[in-house]
Amino acid sequence: MRGSCKRGGFAGGKGIGPVAWRSNLRCGVKHPTPHIFEMTPDSLAAWCSAEGIGGGRAFVAKQILEWVYTKGEVDPERMTNLSKLDRDRLAAKMTFLSGSVVRHMKASDGVQKLLVEWDEPAGAIESSGDISLPMAGGREQGKGTGLQTECVMIPADDRRTACISSQVGCPVGCRFCASGIGGLDGNLSVGRIVEQVWRLGRLEGVGRITNVVFMGMGEPLSNFANVTGAIRILSSLWATGISARKITISTVGLPQAITRLAEQFELPVTLALSLHAPNDEIRRQLIPWAEYTTIKDLLSACQKWFEKTGREITLEYTLLHNVNDRPKHAKELAVIAKTLRANINLIRYNEVDGMPFERPRDANVLEFQKVLRDEGVNVHIRASRGRDIKAACGQLRHETAKAAGGR
């Protein structure tokens, strides 16, 4: 099939199995454009008409999208209600799968993780808000050793959550996170963002993806147009039909970018602020971009978001042993949380080789939570999932690159 690599069995919409990693995995395929996963019914109908597919019949576009999203089929040859000529034209002129799976790992708790390599250059880097910030690692776009991103399927009761990436690498460079090691290679397109969700939904035993969180690699609001475009598709009934209220955008936080989201995006997504510190001093030690704003300004932008959407903010707080996990830090955090309508997710740090941070002690995590609850704050400890397969953001990509002698 044109537009995919025949590696590890993802043809025909079937669930993939484990894929052994090896070096020099670039497919070298130059995909045709456009990408099926960035098409809407209207844009696909217009494209089909221009390409002479379907004889000008508008319902052909609907049939194609039903094959992809309802039946999970991405091989035009198997779209049997299309003519042979139309199937051939689709295969030659439309990209269905833009990347290839480098590794597929399954954890003992049911979490599954894919490492996907995109074999063409990543998209242009978009400015985040009204100011231009330096990128972590100082590398130019496209100068990396491989355009790889991660996505994770997390099962819990009746939920199937897709944790997806928005960029190749990350421009923020949080000191404790593996995603920003080596900097940013570029943005993922609308199609490549949606494709991650489709891939995870086709894994064996998953069924329908019910929730999406932009908590993989990248800073989503630095890729604003593509992230919001992908959410519009993911929430559409003709596509995956995931409620916008079950889609979370996690951002390290720039006031201009949050304000832009509140003013320019119409869907009621959940906003999560990656706070990770109770004061500006510690936050600037952990997050380079925190040099360009303050917690006070971030809270003001989040308040505007709440006033426009009525949606509660989630404050994400990664606990690092002896860095930000003391009772005094919890008391500072409580003051922050009570300034706006917010809940707090406490995240126990997953260690990354080569980084000088430790996972918090269980007793300290529980004490931290108790201090917050005693202050009347709605707080939860996020369950650590997929630790035996390096499921935390950027870890698998980092380990794979190290094994190959790369960055």
Of residues 240, 255, 356, the one with CA closest to residue 303: 255
Q: Give yes or no for a contact between 325 and 362, defined as CB atoms under 8 angstroms apart.
A: no
3 state SS of 247: strand
Can you tell me the distance from the alpha carbon of 318 to that of 320, in angstroms, rounded to the nearest whole number?
Answer: 6
Q: Alpha-carbon distance 112 to 393, whole Å?
A: 13
What are 117's strand-pairing partners? 100, 148
DSSP 357: -
Based on the residue annotation, tell me whether 48 is a catalytic residue of this protein: no
Ramachandran class of 276: left when φ > 0, alpha when ψ lies in -120 to 50, beta otherwise = left
CA 400 from centre of chain: 19
Determine the Cα–Cα distance for residues 230 and 220; give it in Å rounded to an integer.
11
Residue 145 to residue 45: CA distance in whole angstroms:
38
Catalytic residue among 150, 195, 219, 316: 150
Contact 277, 291 (CB under 8 A): no
Question: What torsion do the CA atoms of 159, 188, 68, 265 make, to the nearest 10 degrees?
Answer: 70
The reply to whether 393 belongs to the active site is yes
Q: Which residues are catalytic?
A: 150, 393
